[in-house]
Chains A and B, each alone.
Chain A
Amino acid sequence: MTTKIRLENVSKIFGPKPKSIIPMVEQGMTKEEILKKTNHTVGVYNASLDVKKGEVFVIMGLSGSGKSTLIRCFNLLNKPTGGSIYIDDEDIVAYDNTKLKKMRQEKVAMVFQHFGLFSHKTILANVEYGLEIRNVSKEERREIAMKNIESVGLKGYEDKYPGELSGGMQQRVGLARALANDPDILLMDEPFSALDPLIRREMQLEMLDIQERLQKTIIFITHDVNEAFRIGDRVAVMKEGQVVQVGTPEEIIESPANDYISEFIKDIDRSKVFQAEHVMIKPNALVSIKDGLNVAVKEMRENGISSVFVVDRGRHLKGIVTIDDAVKGIKEKQSLEDVLRPDVTVVKQDEYISDLIPKALESSFPLAVVNDDNKLAGLILRVHVLSGLAPDDVDESEEYHG
């Protein structure tokens, strides 16, 4: 993947003479000392990052850590005091007004924590706004806006006003409004923090859905570790205006850079970070539906297992056959299809472990993991789910022999 955005030593200091403060930060004075002594607030100091094209890049930190200040640097709502920001290899800090306006109109759109909707405009007019100020013709912008309103599931609400909609719906409008401009980059400043947990979950999934369809580069701010790790391809952790660690969720959990991060992720539920594909094992025995019962029995005997998945030629799962059924079937001259049990619990490879636990408890066979094309990708022994995400430590044969 190519780099879409590159931040080099970006600092943002608020106050009457921000540039004079940089040397003080360099000398290692803390935020509080500087605030007390000079009445300047250090928002962000020396942040360097790369954001790749098409990834969901999460910036996580507690309140006051500078994450909202940093995201506003990406579209120069905050002009950095020092450092450079490259978008598609152009330094946007050096842009003049015309170029900046063009960039905001065409390349970068933002979604806000409290939605930032225009309460005097209808939903349609809100979504049209970005196009309106670009002087897109009335018919065209209406068409684009309607398409986007529909894609966030708000068809029929276009003539309502924001005040008449629930929080979740308002944020959908915010999202539709940002997407209507067809930006490359979507900045999302704690977009779901103001929503209640159920709606938040739904919106996260929807956002990932949209991301998969449209492949935008998304910068996402959150203070919620679980949210960050659930949706982020990569996560940057901020503390007191500085970026302390950047990595994938797995990397950060496996090797936190310092105690601050360990403390931060202490409460994280690992089962909500790891997905089925992280704990599944490749099936070393598989039977094709054409193979017949004798092959199935042979496969099970050779691998020392008590049941085996049956697939068709396209590796689509047909069911499972147990050793007892197979032996009995041979005696009674039945075919493989006759003794096949179709009631296998199937899970997607990107399902979180936390969602697998109840399924594993209910099922009497291993869980079958399928990929996006519905082909069998692997299997998860129930004991793997329940003994906590460590496939290497469990002897595979235990359950099969049981």
Chain B
Amino acid sequence: MGNFPDITTNLGDYADQFVSFLDTSLRGFFDLIYLLTSRMINVIDDFLVWLPWWVFIIAIILLGWYFKSIYAGLLFGVFIFLIGTFGLWADMMTTIAIIVTAVLTCLIIGIPVGILMAYNQGFSNVLRPILDAMQTMPSFVYLIPAIFFFGLGNVSAIFATLIYALPPVIRLTELAIRGVDKEVIESAQSFGSSRWQMLRKIQLPQALPTIMAGVNQTTMMALAMVVIASMVGASGLGEQVLVSINRIDIALGFEAGISIVFLAIIIDRITNGVADKFQKHRGAGE
């Protein structure tokens, strides 16, 4: 009696048709993206693998030292060394290459979009629910169209990562630009700044600490996608986790898992340190 009436809508079919339509009509576009992205990942990956292992460890120590403290730097060096001893050096480099590519793409798309949203309320109103959907839709769902467009492999992984990790940088850029002190804006205006001068010399630098917080979040979310992305064929540490699940290999699972944790700690602390450096002179001045 109380059963749901026999009405069906085929929203899913429409989504399917839409994806197929995109796939056929924009084939060339997707191929171009595929080419650029895979090239970028390969260049970064090749460079990192080519780098002598001790140069990489020293670089990490120096970064940690500069942005945090010498102790943090040394700890990061130990982490990287440990990952090497697990036999996961090359996998780590691939993972880093994927994350760097994903994050850079996020910034290239996200910061301008965030600025536009801050300038244009209408655009912001339209985009906000889309960003909400991007963040709350289960991330496995993006994997399907990703395969459609880019086949199995790292590029699909980047695409899925992008959709998941893009919202924070957009949101925080918008928030940061809108949040610049009104009197600071007025004073820049009162000197006759053009719109471009205002953005470049005042708004962006003032917004930078908050934007950096967005970069930090985006990076962490990209890292969180590493394992999921390996389901569409991304290589690297995530692939090792997936392999260990299939083989029920506790040892490999733990080693690959803890490596991801180490990377997460290092990347989080360093990007945080960068944000703090920008933050240094703020506070009483505003």
Task: Decide: B206 and A118 in contact? CB cutoff 8 A.
Answer: yes
Q: Which of A38-97 contact B (CB under 8 A)?
A: 72, 75, 77
A116 and B183 contact, Cβ closer than 8 Å, known pairs A104-B191, A133-B191, A181-B191: yes
Q: Which of B184-235 contact A (CB under 8 A)?
A: 184, 186-194, 197, 201-202, 205-206, 208
Smallest CB separation, B152 vs chain A (Å): 45
Task: Decide: B285 and A103 in contact? CB cutoff 8 A.
Answer: no
Write out the residue numbers on chain B whose beta carbons fall within 8 Å of the beta carbon of A119.
Answer: 184, 206, 281-283, 285-286
Smallest CB separation, B4 vs chain A (Å): 45
Count of residues in B whose CB is under 8 Å from the partner chain: 25
Task: Decide: A117 and B191 in contact? CB cutoff 8 A.
Answer: no
Write out the residue numbers on chain A whose beta carbons fall within 8 Å of the beta carbon of B282.
Answer: 119-120, 163
1/0 per residue A158-200: CB within 8 Å of B? 0001111000001000100000010000010000000000000
Q: Which of A103, A112, A120, A134 contacts B187 (CB under 8 A)? A: A112
Taken together as a complex, chains A and B put the C-alpha atoms of A170 and B285 apart, in Å, by 8
Write out the residue numbers on chain B whose beta carbons fall within 8 Å of the beta carbon of A121.
Answer: 205
- How many residue pairs between the two chains, A and B, have CB atoms under 8 Å in the bound complex? 91
A109 and B191 contact, Cβ closer than 8 Å, known pairs A118-B202, A120-B208: yes
A77 and B190 contact, Cβ closer than 8 Å, known pairs A119-B286, A120-B206: yes
Q: Which of A100-119 contact B (CB under 8 A)?
A: 100-106, 108-110, 112-119
Write out the residue numbers on chain B whose beta carbons fall within 8 Å of the beta carbon of A108.
Answer: 190
Tell me if B55 counts as interface (CB < 8 A to partner A): no
Smallest CB separation, B187 vs chain A (Å): 3
Write out the residue numbers on chain B whose beta carbons fall within 8 Å of the beta carbon of A113.
Answer: 183
Write out the residue numbers on chain A whose beta carbons fall within 8 Å of the beta carbon of B32.
Answer: none
Task: Decide: A117 and B192 in contact? CB cutoff 8 A.
Answer: no
Write out the residue numbers on chain A whose beta carbons fall within 8 Å of the beta carbon of B201.
Answer: 129, 132-133
Task: Decide: B192 and A102 in contact? CB cutoff 8 A.
Answer: yes
Q: Which of A321-351 contact B (CB under 8 A)?
A: none
Tell me if A130 counts as interface (CB < 8 A to partner B): yes
Write out the residue numbers on chain B whose beta carbons fall within 8 Å of the beta carbon of A106.
Answer: 192
Taken together as a complex, chains A and B put the C-alpha atoms of A108 and B194 apart, in Å, by 16
Tell me if B284 counts as interface (CB < 8 A to partner A): yes
Smallest CB-CB separation from A130: which chain B residue?
B191
Q: Which of B170-185 contact A (CB under 8 A)?
A: 181, 183-184
Task: Decide: B192 and A104 in contact? CB cutoff 8 A.
Answer: yes
Smallest CB separation, A216 vs chain B (Å): 15
Among B193, B194, B205, chain A packs the most CB atoms within 10 A around the CB of B193
1/0 per residue B242-270: CB within 8 Å of A? 00000000000000000000000000000
Write out the residue numbers on chain A whose beta carbons fall within 8 Å of the beta carbon of B205.
Answer: 118, 120-121
Task: Decide: B285 and A133 in contact? CB cutoff 8 A.
Answer: no
Smallest CB-CB separation from B280: which chain A residue?
A161
Task: Decide: B194 and A163 in contact? CB cutoff 8 A.
Answer: no
A163 and B285 contact, Cβ closer than 8 Å, known pairs A105-B191, A105-B192: yes
A103 and B192 contact, Cβ closer than 8 Å, known pairs A113-B183, A118-B184, A133-B197: yes
Taken together as a complex, chains A and B put the C-alpha atoms of A162 and B188 apart, in Å, by 15
Task: Decide: A116 and B187 in contact? CB cutoff 8 A.
Answer: yes
Task: Decide: B191 and A114 in contact? CB cutoff 8 A.
Answer: no
Q: Which of A102, A112, A117 contacts B285 (CB under 8 A)? A: A117
Write out the residue numbers on chain B whose beta carbons fall within 8 Å of the beta carbon of A109.
Answer: 190-191
Smallest CB separation, A192 vs chain B (Å): 15
Task: Decide: A77 and B285 in contact? CB cutoff 8 A.
Answer: no
Taken together as a complex, chains A and B put the C-alpha atoms of A203 and B208 apart, in Å, by 33
Q: Which of A129, A161, A162 contacts B191 (CB under 8 A)? A: A129
Known pairs A101-B192, A118-B187, A163-B286 / 17 extra A-B pairs, C-beta < 8 Å:
A102-B192, A104-B189, A104-B191, A105-B191, A109-B191, A116-B181, A117-B187, A119-B184, A119-B282, A120-B282, A121-B205, A130-B192, A161-B281, A162-B285, A163-B281, A164-B281, A164-B285
Q: Which residues of B contact A (CB under 8 A)?
A: 181, 183-184, 186-194, 197, 201-202, 205-206, 208, 278, 281-286
* Closest 8 A/B residue pairs (Cβ): A116-B187, A119-B285, A104-B192, A163-B285, A162-B285, A105-B192, A161-B281, A116-B183
